[in-house]
Amino acid sequence: MELKIFGDKTIEVGAKEDLYNTLKGQGTYLVAPCGGKGTCGKCKVRILDGKVDCKSYGRLEQKERLEGVVLACQTNAKTDLTIEIPRQSRLTLGGKIASTAFKEPAEYLKSYNFEINPIVKRVFLKLPPPSIEDNISDLERLKRAVLEAALENMRFSYELVATLGETLRTANWNVTLSYAEEENINTFEALSLFSQDECSRRYGIAVDIGTTTVVVYLIDLVSGRIIDIGSTYNSQTRFGDDVITRIVFATEGGGLNDLREAVVSDINTILDSLSDRHGIEMCEIDACAVSGNTTMSQIFWGLNPETIREDPYIPTINYYPLWKGKTSGLKINPQSPVYTSPCVASYVGGDIAAGILASKMYRNSEIALFMDIGTNAEIVIGNNEWLMTAACSAGPCFEGGGIKNGMRATPGAIESIKIDPNTYEPIISVIGGVTPMGICGSGMIDAIVEMFKTGLINQKGIFAQGKTNRIREGEEGLEFLIYSDKELKRDIVLTKVDIENLIRAKAAIFAGVTLLLKEVGLPVDAIEKVYIAGGFGNSLNVEQTKMLGMIPDLPVEKYVFLGNTSIVGAYLSLMCDELRYELEEIASKMTYIELSVIAGYMDEYMSAMFIPHTDLSVFPSIKDEIGKYLYQIN
Amino acid sequence: MELKIFGDKTIEVGAKEDLYNTLKGQGTYLVAPCGGKGTCGKCKVRILDGKVDCKSYGRLEQKERLEGVVLACQTNAKTDLTIEIPRQSRLTLGGKIASTAFKEPAEYLKSYNFEINPIVKRVFLKLPPPSIEDNISDLERLKRAVLEAALENMRFSYELVATLGETLRTANWNVTLSYAEEENINTFEALSLFSQDECSRRYGIAVDIGTTTVVVYLIDLVSGRIIDIGSTYNSQTRFGDDVITRIVFATEGGGLNDLREAVVSDINTILDSLSDRHGIEMCEIDACAVSGNTTMSQIFWGLNPETIREDPYIPTINYYPLWKGKTSGLKINPQSPVYTSPCVASYVGGDIAAGILASKMYRNSEIALFMDIGTNAEIVIGNNEWLMTAACSAGPCFEGGGIKNGMRATPGAIESIKIDPNTYEPIISVIGGVTPMGICGSGMIDAIVEMFKTGLINQKGIFAQGKTNRIREGEEGLEFLIYSDKELKRDIVLTKVDIENLIRAKAAIFAGVTLLLKEVGLPVDAIEKVYIAGGFGNSLNVEQTKMLGMIPDLPVEKYVFLGNTSIVGAYLSLMCDELRYELEEIASKMTYIELSVIAGYMDEYMSAMFIPHTDLSVFPSIKDEIGKYLYQIN
């Protein structure tokens, strides 16, 4: 029988295998922390057409069942089927690395002029077997060899000693010791001991814990090659879209643990799928680097983030010790070190420090601006001598949060829009060339700017009625119809509320940049490079984004798109100790400015609540063009 | 109603309270790891007279039930009772510290010219509360204060950071940090953080894990005062009397774990009773030092002791890192460091290194001999420049193991014996002045020597028949009746097999001393001091022991009895870092001699299988007296 995935491919399906496993077998992965046992209730799909056999509905709500939602792992096809996979159910494997520079991370790493030197090192030790004359204990024998290998101050955990006697003898006294260096306390930590020919494959993972998205790189620790990539939505989202809501939830009874379990199980689900796909044992993954914002990092480790949102906004921890795989709850070697990118302050986290590492701006003398636009936006200005940073309360809308038909920049997302100035018909471009399912950040920016240019909204973002029936009354007030799906009977729109949210977000970002420049006493054109990081990917149109008034009025050639710098920074810190230490230094060098307490913030923010700004002199290069559109509206 | 404890006191008993709790309430403690729930089956008592009500017989065997054995926690009195508490059921609290020097351990510690400086230190830190201007994270704030207190290279565990934010704020930024120093890796480890006035009471425990006996000191960490002492039989005994049998058992499926659990639960049972008696919370016990022989130490930590008994006799570990209370399974603060006395070799363990520390012989220039006679015997010769050591396969008989009516030197033990040369009637002295229950090491030595002096046995230990009907045929061949208990219908005897065991044991010890002296090339009279450690206590008679041929023929004034030096060494290492480092140095300075591979060992052993020796010139000072006895026999 045929199984048609709406907006995607069509695959073969048999009556005997459930949909979860059928899809998995043909490369479409669903989220299922329970491994397909019907207990987690996450592998939801909607049956659009055809008949199925359902073993169990698990914890599905009545409403969902009436809409045709089933658990894929509990459902078998009885006829040809058409199904829809909701974005939350989809696990993405084999994703792309957005920017050109990062396409070959192992090559990119070399451009730092360091060799591969991963966080977990190995040393081969040939021990003389014991005798009556040389009868020191096993651990002392190992320590003697370790000292001969010039490794002083090595710490041996209980776990390693617990199996030491057996390992040494099984390995016939020829062993490989893995260890990590803890620079800040001048100590090495012994991790695992192997037979010479055991565990010759070595993998590591880099993890970006975004507020909205979780991304995992599976890495060959020897070559530095990225073997595969997996990503999914952060299922903490069900407890709240933004960090503040989640912090509040964390302080409630059991909330912290729920949040922690959600993200750890997201990562583990990806790890399960990646391991399955590449035939890797969990114990072969013996290193991990994680980067996330301050709240995400603390929740990942089960540290209450309460004080992050209380004046004076203090995290429990910025510089994390190397804790263990076992402590993290990740399905990796329990003895593996887990490195956490250092955070700078409550609202500038390890993802930003990692981003600066990936951008290299901390190594150059030219003054650069770094903007990471994800859920919220963080900005950094500086060079190899100084770094200033601030956070903008932009909210999650550019990643799809709080936007009616918003979604991440993944297949099915409308990523760019052109509106015909005469017919007002939108021409859309969809990631992956499939049926559109929603609109991502770059698409939203295009939509607003195109509506502004064609006079469908004014400088404040208010709809001009009567020009086209694509502007219509919706559930939340006026909305603009971008795409109508006859088959699904579903429209993709941008609502009045969406536009308000987007303008607030861009205003927060622009006000942040303006104020940070003021704080450092530099004019806009002192900026020689602008690095844009975040989920926009390569599809962000600089001219349009400038026109929206979100980014400074600088020549296009100064802009560089970097994509997900958080995970690339994590990758670099995992693969090279020297870069890990540089990352620690970056964080300690960054000066955090709390924008909300600076006089003038509110003024800057209010001025930026226009397209592009109340003061057009701030955008000199497009001033004339803007004037044309304003004239056209009036 | 009255409850008469056979050979002990008489107490009041009500019908409503079970015997376990009745006894506990009046200061008689039984072993009950389950806490009196009827599940562990250890609080066995025997009803000699009176009627009881039994809720459950638990796992008691049919044979035991027929003999009147019940579980005290499941049994209530219905009439006046007389009960017998078997030695294995009895937990001893408030025991005595044997030797004069150790009676005030805190004073004794001062004699080393060091101040009290326990393994867990505390530093009070007054942190400035955070502000927008001083907004570093909680951990960085703590680290800054730690550095200001001149503590570099401090390691912070996950457990400490997990509650850091809350503790700092509850304590209003005035906190006490406890930490330990790991000298060998030049690192401090942060352990726990308290509010200023929280946990002002601080306790530590020193534990001696003997093959036969487990002893615990409960210590006030501030004053160094011993608050109480508890001891019990090592319940590993049910898996075998000596270390070799236990090593074999450990290598069987699950055996290692059974052994580990047995000893950990023994210690925890003592801790329960001590905490109960003194109103101490488990979390207030925040430091522990353990000493035991190499096998006991490894089993305590769950490390397979298999290779200890295989040529070339290699322990897994001699120098233990500071592992945690949590890892040990002890009912103490999970974050407390547990120090393990360093072992020297497979058959010279941490108990001996600790003993040398307690003896101070490593600090003096005079050449001393140290003998620890417990289950097996270890000997050390040396001074402040060198230390040589060896182990003698003496077996457990001096602690009561393998001796028909043998027992430890606790109340009820016959500790000295005099035999009337005319009537052959023994005059006995019993520890605690109660009804005799068995015979301890010093009593056995007296018995053999007295029998030899009165011609009841010859130089080989063979019975001379016909002189007294106290020498009679028993189950195991000939035996000497020491005491007959009419009431219990039970006799205390010393059998032919017992005497053979004792002579073998003393021969092994004496051969060890002789060979070790030969190895270092010193005559006997080069020894200026002999320190005797072990369970004999103050009751060991030097002249008698010399006559037995167990110890060298040196003047009585050279002999010093030290009692349990293993636990005193553990106490010293717990209370003073400087002494802990000295202990590590002692272990590394000790040269171990494997006696069994030295030519001539067998000859020396065989020569010592006589009372006192085949070559009487080895015992010049008693040669004449011996001749008299030999003459008397012939």
Percent of chain B with pLDDT over 90: 73
Kindly list the strands in the beta sheet with B10-12, ordered across the sheet, starting from the edge strand earlier in the chain.
Answer: B10-12, B2-5, B81-84, B44-49, B69-71
B window 180-219, beta carbon within 8 A of A: 182, 185-187
Region for residue B121 given its phi and psi (left: phi exceeds 0; alpha: psi -120 to 50; beta: otherwise): beta
Among B407, B394, B479, residue whose Cα is nearest residue B443: B407
Domain with CATH 3.10.20.30 in chain A: 2-85
pLDDT of residue A536: 64
B window 318-357, beta carbon within 8 A of A: 318-319, 321, 323, 327, 343, 345-346
Among A209, A99, A212, residue whose Cα is nearest residue A441: A212
A127 touches chain B (CB under 8 A): no
Pairing of the two strands A368-374 and A529-534 = parallel
pLDDT of residue A58: 84
Closest chain A residue to B152, measured at CA: A185
A156 touches chain B (CB under 8 A): yes
pLDDT of residue B502: 95
Between chain A and chain B, the number of residue pairs with CB atoms below 8 A apart is: 142
If pLDDT is split at 50, 70 and 90, which confidence band does B45 have?
very high
Question: How confident is the model over B398-436, as pLDDT tens digits?
Answer: 888 889 998 888 888 999 999 999 999 999 999 888 889
pLDDT of residue B26: 85
- Distance (Å) from the C-alpha of residue A144 to the closest C-alpha of chain B? 13
Instruction: Please tell me which of the candidates B139, B301, B316 has its beta carbon nearest to residue A137.
Output: B316
Chain A residues whose beta carbon lies within 8 Å of the beta carbon of residue B137? 314-319, 343
Closest chain A residue to B256, measured at CA: A162
pLDDT of residue A51: 94
Q: Judge if the upstream peptide bond of residue A552 is cis by omega within 30 degrees of 0.
A: no
Q: Judge if the upstream peptide bond of residue A396 is cis by omega within 30 degrees of 0.
A: no
Between B118 and B99, the higher pLDDT residue: B118
Q: Do A153 and B314 touch (CB under 8 A)?
A: no
Residue B229 near residue B270 (C-beta atoms within 8 A):
no
Q: Do A137 and B165 touch (CB under 8 A)?
A: no
Decide if pLDDT at A183 tops 90.
no
Q: Report, in angstroms and rounded to the nearest whole number, the Rg of chain B calculated over CA atoms.
A: 26
- Distance (Å) from the C-alpha of residue B318 to the closest C-alpha of chain A? 6
pLDDT of residue B87: 78
**Gap between the Cα atoms of A500 and A497, Å rounded:** 5
Q: Do B165 and A135 touch (CB under 8 A)?
A: no
Decide if pLDDT at A25 tops 90.
no
Q: Do B185 and A311 touch (CB under 8 A)?
A: no
Residue B374 near residue B537 (C-beta atoms within 8 A):
no
B window 265-294, beta carbon within 8 A of A: none
Q: Do A345 and B135 touch (CB under 8 A)?
A: yes
Residue ranges of alpha helices (H) inside A303-349 are 325-328
Neighbours of B557 (CB within 10 A): 8
Domain A356-396+502-629 has CATH 3.30.420: yes
B592 touches chain A (CB under 8 A): yes
pLDDT of residue A256: 96
Residue B333 near residue B286 (C-beta atoms within 8 A):
yes
The helix (run of H) or strand (run of E) holding residue B260 is helix B255-278
**Gap between the Cα atoms of A395 and A413, Å rounded:** 19
pTM across the whole model: 0.88
Residue B544 near residue B338 (C-beta atoms within 8 A):
no
Q: Do A316 and B161 touch (CB under 8 A)?
A: yes
Average pLDDT, integer, range B122-144:
94
- Distance (Å) from the C-alpha of residue A524 to the closest C-alpha of chain B? 27
pLDDT of residue A109: 95
Decide if pLDDT at A171 tops 90.
yes
Chain B residues whose beta carbon lies within 8 Å of the beta carbon of residue A325? none
* Best mutation target, B131, B133, B151, B161, to test chain A (most A CBs within 10 A): B161
Average pLDDT, integer, range A539-566:
93
Q: Do B317 and A158 touch (CB under 8 A)?
A: no
Average pLDDT, integer, range A356-368:
98
CATH class held by domain B203-350: alpha beta
Instruction: Please tell me which of the candidates A157, A162, A185 has its beta carbon nearest to residue B155.
Output: A185
- Percent helix, strand, coil in chain B, to 5, is 35, 25, 35
Which of A6-20, A163-177, A328-342, A553-567 shows the lowest per-residue confidence on average (mean pLDDT)? A6-20
pLDDT of residue A6: 84
Phi, psi of A230 (to 5 degrees): -135, 150
Chain A residues whose beta carbon lies within 8 Å of the beta carbon of residue B316? 137-139, 161, 164-165
Chain A residues whose beta carbon lies within 8 Å of the beta carbon of residue B595? none
B128 touches chain A (CB under 8 A): no
CA atoms within 13 A on the CB side of A536: 27
Domain with CATH 3.10.20.880 in chain B: 121-195
Question: How confident is the model over A374-397, as pLDDT tens digits?
Answer: 888 999 999 999 999 999 988 888
pLDDT of residue A7: 79
pLDDT of residue A98: 62
Mean pLDDT, all residues of chain A: 92
CA-to-CA separations, B118 to B205, B219, B282, in angstroms, rounded? 11, 11, 18
The CATH number of A2-85 is 3.10.20.30
CATH architecture of B121-195: Roll (3.10)
Domain B362-396+502-629 has CATH 3.30.420: yes
Question: How confident is the model over B511-536, as pLDDT tens digits?
Answer: 999 999 999 999 999 999 999 998 76
Neighbours of A53 (CB within 10 A): 12
pLDDT of residue A38: 85
Q: Do A317 and B137 touch (CB under 8 A)?
A: yes
Return the amino acid letter for A54: C
Residue B266 near residue B214 (C-beta atoms within 8 A):
yes
**Gap between the Cα atoms of A317 and B142, Å rounded:** 10
Closest chain A residue to B316, measured at CA: A138
Mean pLDDT, all residues of chain B: 92
CA atoms within 13 A on the CB side of B209: 31
Neighbours of B375 (CB within 10 A): 26
Instruction: Please tell me which of the candidates B153, B162, B321 has its beta carbon nearest to residue A302.
Output: B162
Chain A residues whose beta carbon lies within 8 Å of the beta carbon of residue B158? 301, 321, 323, 327
Which of A101-105, A366-370, A591-595 shows the lowest per-residue confidence on average (mean pLDDT)? A101-105
Question: How confident is the model over A56-93, as pLDDT tens digits?
Answer: 988 888 888 888 999 999 999 999 999 998 877 888 88
CATH of A204-350, one of 3.50.50.60, 3.30.420.480, 3.40.50.150, 1.20.1250.20: 3.30.420.480
Instruction: Please tell me which of the candidates A158, A311, A327 has its beta carbon nearest to residue B323.
Output: A158
**Gap between the Cα atoms of B310 and B347, Å rounded:** 12
Q: Do A161 and B317 touch (CB under 8 A)?
A: yes
**Gap between the Cα atoms of A336 and A339, Å rounded:** 10
pLDDT of residue A227: 95
If pLDDT is split at 50, 70 and 90, which confidence band does A199 have?
low
Chain centre to alpha carbon of residue B438: 19
Q: Do A317 and B187 touch (CB under 8 A)?
A: no
Which of B99-103, B186-190, B206-210 shows the lowest per-residue confidence on average (mean pLDDT)? B99-103
Phi, psi of A198 (to 5 degrees): -85, 150
